[in-house]
């Protein structure tokens, strides 16, 4: 049985049992399951690309889900949180991995790192999946920037990305790995096999 929690449940796939709720509200939704939950995937999206929007989606919402699990005495085998490579601030073209220092300078990266610490310090076994910039169907931000005349900087500017389907397959693989009896690490990177220069992506 798969449950999906959204404010707009009509966008959930067929076969998913809907839970209509606002993650920013502390009250547990009435449709929250009473039985044991094997796995939880927290993959929220901020309503606004603002500091308050990120805090609501990635801190407040995550705290509420952990509280609801605790209130129902549910102990999932793994809580997966989709984080972001925004937690890194390196700018000198070096290769990064899960053990690279996380010293974000922007508010978005700082909030995502706080969310990682929140989930890893929760009462649940947890894994953070740091996804690079997601591209694919329905994601038009870069296309719109190009249409508005945006061009790449003259110096080398690299971009790390991952296709939406690849991100979904990564999450599925991790869930299957955990279910097969292998304990997951606390952190994984989700990116394409190689970075691309921004000018290459735009062209």
In a domain, 182, yes or no: yes
Per-residue pLDDT, 144: 60
- pTM value is 0.88
Per-residue pLDDT, 152: 56
In a domain, 156, yes or no: no
In a domain, 58, yes or no: yes
Q: Report the C-alpha gap between 9 and 18 in whole angstroms.
A: 6
Query: For residue 116, what is the domain's CATH number?
Result: 3.40.50.720
- Digit-by-digit pLDDT tens for the chain (203 residues) are 999 999 999 999 999 999 999 999 999 999 999 999 999 999 999 999 999 999 999 999 999 999 999 999 999 999 999 999 999 999 888 889 999 999 999 999 999 999 999 999 999 999 999 999 898 876 656 556 556 665 555 556 677 889 999 999 999 999 999 999 999 999 999 998 765 655 555 54
In a domain, 150, yes or no: no
Q: What is the CA radius of gyration of the chain?
A: 18
| Number of domains within the chain | 1
In a domain, 154, yes or no: no
Residue 200 CA: distances (Å) to CA of 141, 150, 156:
16, 13, 11
Range of the domain at 80: 3-139+161-194
In a domain, 165, yes or no: yes
HEC profile of 34-63: CCCCCEEEECCCCCCCCHHHHHHHHHHHHH
In a domain, 11, yes or no: yes
In a domain, 147, yes or no: no
Q: Report the DSSP pairing between strands 158-159 and 196-197.
A: antiparallel
Q: Report the C-alpha gap between 28 and 69 in whole angstroms.
A: 9
């Amino acid at each position: 049985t798969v449950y999906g929690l959204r404010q707009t449940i009509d966008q959930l796939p067929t076969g998913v049992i809907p839970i209509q709720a606002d993650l920013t509200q502390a009250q547990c939704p009435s449709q929250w399951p009473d039985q044991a939950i094997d796995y939880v995937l927290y993959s929220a999206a901020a309503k606004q690309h603002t500091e308050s929007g990120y805090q609501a989606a990635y801190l407040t919402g995550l705290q509420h889900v952990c509280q609801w699990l605790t209130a129902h005495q549910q102990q999932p085998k793994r809580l997966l949180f989709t984080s972001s490579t925004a937690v890194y601030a390196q700018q000198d073209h070096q290769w990064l991995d899960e053990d690279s220092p996380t010293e974000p300078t922007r508010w978005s990266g700082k909030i995502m790192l706080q969310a990682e610490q929140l989930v890893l310090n929760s009462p649940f076994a947890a894994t953070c999946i740091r996804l690079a910039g997601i591209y694919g169907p329905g994601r038009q931000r870069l296309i719109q920037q190009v249409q508005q005349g945006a061009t790449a900087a003259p110096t080398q500017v690299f971009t790390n990305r991952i296709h939406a389907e690849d991100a979904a397959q990564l999450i599925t693989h991790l869930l299957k790995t955990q279910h097969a009896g292998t304990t997951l690490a606390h952190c994984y990177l989700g990116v394409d096999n190689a970075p691309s220069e921004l000018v290459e992506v735009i062209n």
